[in-house]
Amino acid sequence: MPKQINVALIGNPNTGKTSVFNALTGLNQKVGNYPGITVEKKEGVCKLPRGVKAHIIDLPGTYSLNASSLDENVVIELLLNKKDKDFPDVAVVVSDVENLKRNLLLYTQIKDLKIPTILAINMSDRMKYKGIQLDIPFLEKELHTKIALISTRKNKGIDQLKELIINFKELSTEPCVNASEVDSNYFDGLRKAFPNQLLYKLWLVISQDVNFGKTDRNEVDVINSFKTKSKADLKRLQQKETIKRYQFINNTLKIGQTIDLKSAKDLRIKLDRILTHKVWGYLIFFVILLTIFQAIYDWSSVPMDFIDSVFASLSELTKNSLPQGAFTDLIAEGIIPGLGGIVIFIPQIAFLFLFIAVLEESGYMSRVVFLMDRIMRRFGLSGKSIVPLISGTACAIPAIMATRNIESWKERLITILVTPFTTCSARLPVYLIIISLVIPEGRFIGLSYQALTLMLLYLIGFGAAIFSAWLLNKILKINSKTFFVVEMPNYKLPLFKNVALTVIEKTKSFVFGAGKIILAISIVLWFLASYGPGDEFNNAEDIVTTEYASQNLSDVELQQKIASHKLEHSFIGIAGHAIEPTIRPLGYDWKIGIALVSSFAAREVFVGTLATIYSVGSDEEETIKNRMAGEVNPITGGPLFNFASGISLLLFYAFAMQCMSTLAIVKRETNSWKWPILQLTIMTAFAYVVALIAFQVLK
């Protein structure tokens, strides 16, 4: 018995494959990308009986092995390459009990590859509700496999699935369908030409437009040496193969599955009529968004205040406990405030991901995609574009990757270019701290002004994306047309475990991803703010003492003046003053200018940067929010963060391309520097002009 088994989870979209993956792996999972391509790779570890471990890889959802997208290509490439370290010892095909006929097409194709295959029929708890009965022994006999009838919601059948995985060597590898019968002469010739190769594997290599760079050279050569049929003929053979497979599936399910339509109780049609209604559908979606943003504020205020005070106390404790010196200052004034500027937003980011996960798990998000297709068409996009735009509320990078399933290059390019306008979670820390400073805490019909402002910023970003798409649709002369097709999954109560794992994984990814950048930048900023050239910095104590000698300042006040003088004449102060003339018309000072520049690494760095700058030389136990509120505009003498400058800053971040990672992924997806450079230039210029107008009007 091997000590580790490679298991591939394969299935159609919306079959509950992720739920099965979570049930098997729990928290022992990680998410990354396949090497060299921007497709998400989920893998985890499952402990099996007898001390055996299973390495589980959750492959992207696919309807068949006839690939039409990059996600589906990933599945085929892995199943054809035995040299891949992730090549499965056993495949688990996850199917939905209500869509068994459609799901079995993929299953019969995988069986033809002679990989030991288990059929996991999910959502078995709905069988009685839907009037479905299955003859499992008959199905196992006809499909040449073992079947695990599971329900991840009720946590049933998972142990049986684990037992089948550990005994995978007992599974039959006999195919269900003889696909070569669709053209016996052609396949006989193929078999004679390559007698040592698996016949169906050769057929997939010949008929697919897939990158087979990692497969055996012999298999790749087949394309050049034996592709004697035209693309049209190959496509017709694929269609014949599909028909033959469905004939087998229909004959099998006639006996193996019975459905009593009279006992099937279904509210789905009634709910769909309301949730996708041309008026009520949009109104309900709008109310849901309002509720989400209100909850983000109301539910997270207590933990945020707690985190803010903890980091302020921790910084003060570090200064008082450790011996004085540069190392203590680095920790207390650089690292702790920088990290605190991100950790404080964990509650709100976690709540945002919580609501998104619930909407996706319940099946409602697919209705939103269908609903928004009516609007998207008018702006040169399709309903598929709404998926990246909504995904952009988490992060623009995976959202841009998600455009790969848009077949039309024009629609895909436009979606890539406008997605960064969507308010991502990295903007959330900037929005939240500025809103808390400049927007009052009153309420309008039960909704706080701050929550309404946050929602308005999301709508402004989405509106900018839609308007930009309309412009690009008029400007770009690319001829392409696609048809919008979306599958409506059944409504279901979200599984707590799935939602919790999603929130933990996404929040962890955001915090640690941003944390690495912020930690590095905080250290650099602390150094630049703690040291400087010339006598103005080195003799700051003498200069300030002499200047304020007649004012009888207390020791605390004098130290604050010295710290402020040092900061202004440090390396970072000099750099900030150099760019200040450019940003002064927007209502910003040199400190905000430094934060703007540093946040190009990642938008959320803005708050961490200000936290570091305002902490340098400060001995008071004071929160970042209080320090920002106390900043004075040297020209007007009033608060630096007032309504005019705050709105200007919010609008700048709403429209600016402040993320080098997004630019890098746009270059990768478009295979050109032309589009990201245009994106950076136009979005930044537009953001500057809008922020300038806003400040000049409101001041």
Query: In sequence order, which residues have a C-beta less than 8 Å from that of residue 237 and are 6 or more positions away?
Result: 182, 183, 186, 207, 229
CB atoms within 10 A of CB 184: 10
Average pLDDT score over residue span 36-62:
79
Q: What is the per-residue pLDDT for 394?
A: 65
CB atoms within 10 A of CB 69: 14
Residue 619 has pLDDT above 50, yes or no: no
CB atoms within 10 A of CB 32: 9
- Taking the C-alpha atoms of residue 75 and residue 88, their distance in angstroms, rounded to an integer, is 11
Six token digits for residue 226: 């034996």
Give residue 398's pLDDT band: very low, low, confident or very high (50, 70, 90): low
Rg of the chain over Cα atoms, rounded to whole angstroms, equals 30
448 to 292, 294, 297, 356: CA distances (angstroms): 12, 7, 9, 21
Q: What is the per-residue pLDDT for 261?
A: 59
Give residue 104's pLDDT band: very low, low, confident or very high (50, 70, 90): very high
Helices H, strands E: what count in the chain?
32, 11
- Looking at per-residue confidence, does 447 or 176 come out higher? 176
Q: Of 432, 383, 422, which Cα lies nearest the Cα of 399?
A: 422
CB atoms within 10 A of CB 496: 10
What distance lies between CA 23 and its chain's CA centroid?
Answer: 21
Q: Of 602, 638, 666, 241, which Cα lies nearest the Cα of 438?
A: 638
Strands 257-259 and 132-134: antiparallel
- Taking the C-alpha atoms of residue 662 and residue 412, their distance in angstroms, rounded to an integer, is 16
Beta bridge partners of 132: 259
Strands 90-96 and 4-11: parallel
Average pLDDT score over residue span 423-427:
78
- Taking the C-alpha atoms of residue 218 and residue 146, their distance in angstroms, rounded to an integer, is 33
Q: Of 43, 280, 54, 6, which Cα lies nearest the Cα of 158?
A: 54
Q: What is the per-residue pLDDT for 685?
A: 94
Q: Of 247, 248, 228, 246, which Cα lies nearest the Cα of 183?
A: 228
229 to 9, 20, 86: CA distances (angstroms): 33, 41, 33
Highest mean pLDDT among 217-221, 441-445, 539-543: 539-543
Q: Of 682, 70, 695, 32, which Cα lies nearest the Cα of 420?
A: 682
Query: In sequence order, which residues have a C-beta less than 8 Å from that of residue 327 and are 6 or more positions away?
Result: none
Residue 609 has pLDDT above 50, yes or no: yes
Average pLDDT score over residue span 173-200:
84
Q: Where in the chain is the domain with CATH 3.40.50.300?
A: 1-265
Residue 440 has pLDDT above 80, yes or no: yes
- Taking the C-alpha atoms of residue 199 and residue 241, their distance in angstroms, rounded to an integer, is 14
Give residue 1's pLDDT band: very low, low, confident or very high (50, 70, 90): low
pLDDT tens readout for residues 227-285 = 567 778 888 888 898 999 999 999 999 998 888 755 545 667 788 888 888 888 888 98
- Looking at per-residue confidence, does 515 or 307 come out higher? 307
Strands 53-58 and 4-11: parallel
Q: Of 10, 13, 11, 69, which Cα lies nearest the Cα of 488?
A: 13
Highest mean pLDDT among 330-334, 471-475, 608-612: 471-475
Q: What is the per-residue pLDDT for 118?
A: 94
Query: In sequence order, which residues have a C-beta less than 8 Å from that of residue 270 and are 6 or more positions away?
Result: none
Residue 289 has pLDDT above 60, yes or no: yes
SS3 540: helix
pLDDT tens readout for residues 323-372 = 888 788 788 877 787 777 667 767 877 887 788 788 888 888 778 877 87
**Percent of the chain having pLDDT more than 90?**
17
- Taking the C-alpha atoms of residue 605 and residue 598, their distance in angstroms, rounded to an integer, is 7
Q: Which of the residue ranges 123-127, 272-276, 442-446 would you say has the lowest mean pLDDT?
A: 442-446
Give residue 298's pLDDT band: very low, low, confident or very high (50, 70, 90): confident
Q: What is the 3-state secondary structure (H, E, C) of 508-525?
A: HHHHHHHHHHHHHHHHHH
Average pLDDT score over residue span 541-568:
78
CB atoms within 10 A of CB 255: 11
The one-letter amino acid code at 77 reads: E
Q: What is the per-residue pLDDT for 515?
A: 65
Q: What is the per-residue pLDDT for 38?
A: 41
Q: Which of the residue ranges 84-93, 408-417, 461-470, 578-587 would you say has the lowest mean pLDDT?
A: 408-417
What distance lies between CA 250 and its chain's CA centroid?
Answer: 38
Q: What is the per-residue pLDDT for 214?
A: 47
634 to 559, 589, 590, 638, 640: CA distances (angstroms): 20, 9, 11, 8, 8
CB atoms within 10 A of CB 175: 18
Q: What class does CATH assign to 1-265? A: alpha beta
Give residue 651's pLDDT band: very low, low, confident or very high (50, 70, 90): very high
Q: What is the per-residue pLDDT for 621?
A: 46
Q: Which of the residue ranges 173-177, 220-224, 347-351, 667-671 would you say has the lowest mean pLDDT?
A: 220-224
Q: What is the per-residue pLDDT for 9?
A: 93
- Looking at per-residue confidence, does 190 or 557 come out higher? 190
Q: What is the per-residue pLDDT for 693?
A: 95
Q: What is the per-residue pLDDT for 647?
A: 93
Average pLDDT score over residue span 284-305:
78
Q: What is the per-residue pLDDT for 623?
A: 61
- List, in sequence order, the alpha helices (H) in 131-230: 136-143, 158-166, 184-193, 199-207, 217-226
Q: Which of the residue ranges 58-67, 288-297, 589-598 would you say has the lowest mean pLDDT?
A: 288-297
C-alpha triplet 99, 104, 105: angle, nearest 5°: 115
Residue 107 has pLDDT above 80, yes or no: yes
- Taking the C-alpha atoms of residue 635 and residue 585, their distance in angstroms, rounded to an integer, is 12
Mean pLDDT of the chain: 80
* Whether the predicted model's global pTM rises above the 0.75 cut: no
Q: Of 377, 360, 356, 365, which Cα lies nearest the Cα of 466?
A: 377
Give residue 508's pLDDT band: very low, low, confident or very high (50, 70, 90): confident
Beta bridge partners of 639: 632
Residue 526 has pLDDT above 70, yes or no: yes
Q: What is the per-residue pLDDT for 601?
A: 61
Q: Of 82, 49, 20, 19, which Cα lies nearest the Cα of 167?
A: 49
